[in-house]
Structure 1
Amino acid sequence: MDRFLPLLSVLAILLQLAVGVTHAASPSELYWRSVLPDTPMPSAIADLIKHSTNVGKELALSHPAVKPMATSSKLRSSFFLENDLHAGAKFTLHFTGTGSRPSLLPRQAADSIPFTNTKLPEILARFSIAPGSREAKAIETTLEECEEQAGYRQIKKCATSLESMLDFTTSALRTRDIHTVSTKVGKEDSPEQQYSVVGVRKVTGSSDWVVCHVQPYAYTVFYCHTKGKSKAYMVSMVGVDGTKVEALAVCHDYKEGSNPKILAYQELKGKQGTGNFCHFQPQDNIVWIPKS
């Protein structure tokens, strides 16, 4: 038996090395830990990192493998009023899941790629996207939205990497003492069904907070912006098939005189004056809130 001990020791060391390689943190994960050491990474981001293509700097400079087109997970539902958000309320919702995972590029790779409409032909050529195609139009629209001037008392940024998103969020909120909230669904792609609310918890206070949405693009781009008077809630719900959901709901103060083009205004204009307009967020939208 003794003669096998050295061999067993070697195997144990090799096993430890293999486990270490398997669980080696990416540059984005390491940056998260350095900036927000006391904030758990939300599953929406952890899943992106897990499923992202391993794109190195050399590959990103030439032709990154970042298809399919990055789009946000979807949530088909109607807008509702804040007063209707209470235990016992029922909503018919369809959480469509995050689908095919796009690549979340590390900052060094993302910063090497042009991100402006003036370089649209170069961007399309880099990712072999045909001009005039649906994908090309989606990229152009995202760049236009990212280059629009921020609204009154609003700060915004399109973050092309996790590192960039962290820098913007901590700068906009003027703190690193932050926690995150996002929608969590028990099933990856649950069917459209009726959900019953079993609990509601407000997650925002009086201070500003930030929300980030995934934009349609050749790789993951988060459109992040500050929110002031809006409110956010975590809503515990159970579907008729037993699916449990912790849904993030955002409520806006759309009073008389609001932009009539806003979908919520169109759907609820007959109920003005009875409360803020709310809607649930899909799984990959993230809200960042100062802890204090």
Structure 2
Amino acid sequence: MYNKLAFCSVYLLLILLDANGSSAQGMAGETLKMHVANDRFNNQKMDVLRLHSMDKQENDAHEEMHVHHMHTHSSSHMDHMDPSVLVFFQLDDLKQGNSMPIHFPRRKPNSSPRLLSKQEADSIPFQLQKLPNLLELFSFSQDSPQAQAMENTLRECETEPIKGETKFCATSLESMLDFIQKIVGMESQIKVLSTTHLTNSKTLLQKFTIMKIQEISAPKSVACHTMPYPYTIFYCHYQESISRVFRVSLAGEYRDKSEAIAVCHLDTSQWSENHVAFRVLGIKPGSSPVCHFFPADNFLWVPSTTSTTNAKASI
């Protein structure tokens, strides 16, 4: 049985994702088609944060992308960079007063694919071998961008985790909570951390200045990242290697303000050398920590007993 704090966290998640209830039978009919026909799914990209084992498939997808070290972020360099990768930074960059370009996707909750209940999710297959049937169910042609996105997501979810990683693709609230509680502890109270934007900006990419840094002491944490699919899928994973969690107050060059969640992975030796973070930062696996900010629709689950302390101006 889930604890009350977990349910409160899930309720917050529901508000953010605008998940309204409907029956599984309805989801298999016209309501299902309505949910998959939105721009959110049609324009979804693979989340650059979701996997630390990005291999040749990910490398092929980015081989045409010219990335430069984030410290040399002139406008001409940024013109040649996929803006979605501008979430990575190094631990040494985390200093009060430091500035860096950051891409924060702004997604309207009412245009996002819905997070299903367990009953709804269990009524729909979530297997790569069932892809032809799923494409027929969702009325997508085999050569459509949506079909490719679904195939990529299913393939990623069935890929073996890297050493020290425990992963799970959650198709429902209940399955996500079950996974998180197994990692954190069945008797542990849990809470969810997420990035909050204090201003309603349409500028996705801008230079942000670090105003304040708070370190969150979390012995265990589970990150859940959105995946492109007709309904909401979270790629949730836990890594045994040490990481540090921060809440960072940011001020944008266009007067935008954000309270961002950031995680720094101290050991990247098991990551694929093709991981986009290494190309963005100009480093190699295991050479130095890799940090990243969380988009607002990605979540970090931690024990509710975690404490927050003001970090030094220089980490």
Measured against the shorter chain, the TM-score band is 0.7 to 0.9
Point out the more displaced range, 180-189 or 81-90: 180-189
TM-score computed with the length of structure 1 as normaliser: 0.78
Candidates 92, 98, 101, aligned match of 2:107: 98
* Letter of the structure 2 residue corresponding to residue 248 of structure 1: I
Q: Does 1:225 align with 2:192?
A: no
Gaps of 5+ in 1: 1-33
Q: State how far apart, in whole Å, the 1-side matches of 2:284 and 2:169 are.
A: 34
Report if aligned partners of 2:9, 2:191 keep a CA contact under 8 Å in 1.
no
TM-score computed with the length of structure 2 as normaliser: 0.73
Distance change in 2, residues 1:272/1:222 (3 Å): closer
* Letter of the structure 2 residue corresponding to residue 46 of structure 1: I
Larger radius of gyration: 1
Q: What corresponds to 2:176 in structure 1? A: 165
Candidates 56, 59, 62, aligned match of 2:23: 56
Report if aligned partners of 1:190, 1:243 keep a CA contact under 8 Å in 2.
no
After superposition, the C-alpha distances for 1:50-101 in whole angstroms (9 at most, x for unaligned) are 2x35532221244523222544789551522101102111122232212421
Candidates 185, 205, 212, aligned match of 1:174: 185
Q: Does 1:276 align with 2:289?
A: yes
Candidates 245, 255, 259, aligned match of 2:258: 245
Report if aligned partners of 1:94, 1:190 keep a CA contact under 8 Å in 2.
no
**What's the % identity of the aligned pairs?**
33
Report if aligned partners of 1:44, 1:283 keep a CA contact under 8 Å in 2.
no
Q: What corresponds to 2:9 in structure 1? A: 41
After superposition, the C-alpha distances for 1:173-214 in whole angstroms (9 at most, x for unaligned) are 114311211111123444132211111112243x22100001
Report if aligned partners of 1:150, 1:156 keep a CA contact under 8 Å in 2.
yes
Gaps of 5+ in 2: 48-82, 306-315
Distance change in 2, residues 1:190/1:233 (3 Å): farther
Q: Does 1:235 align with 2:248?
A: yes
Report if aligned partners of 1:259, 1:265 keep a CA contact under 8 Å in 2.
no
After superposition, the C-alpha distances for 1:117-169 in whole angstroms (9 at most, x for unaligned) are 11111111111111121110110111111111222232211110111111111
Report if aligned partners of 2:190, 2:304 keep a CA contact under 8 Å in 1.
yes
Q: State how far apart, in whole Å, the 1-side matches of 2:304 and 2:112 are.
A: 30
* Letter of the structure 1 residue corresponding to residue 9 of structure 2: M
Distance change in 2, residues 1:238/1:131 (3 Å): same
Report if aligned partners of 2:164, 2:239 keep a CA contact under 8 Å in 1.
no
Q: What corresponds to 2:145 in structure 1? A: 134
- Deviation, 1:254, is 4.9
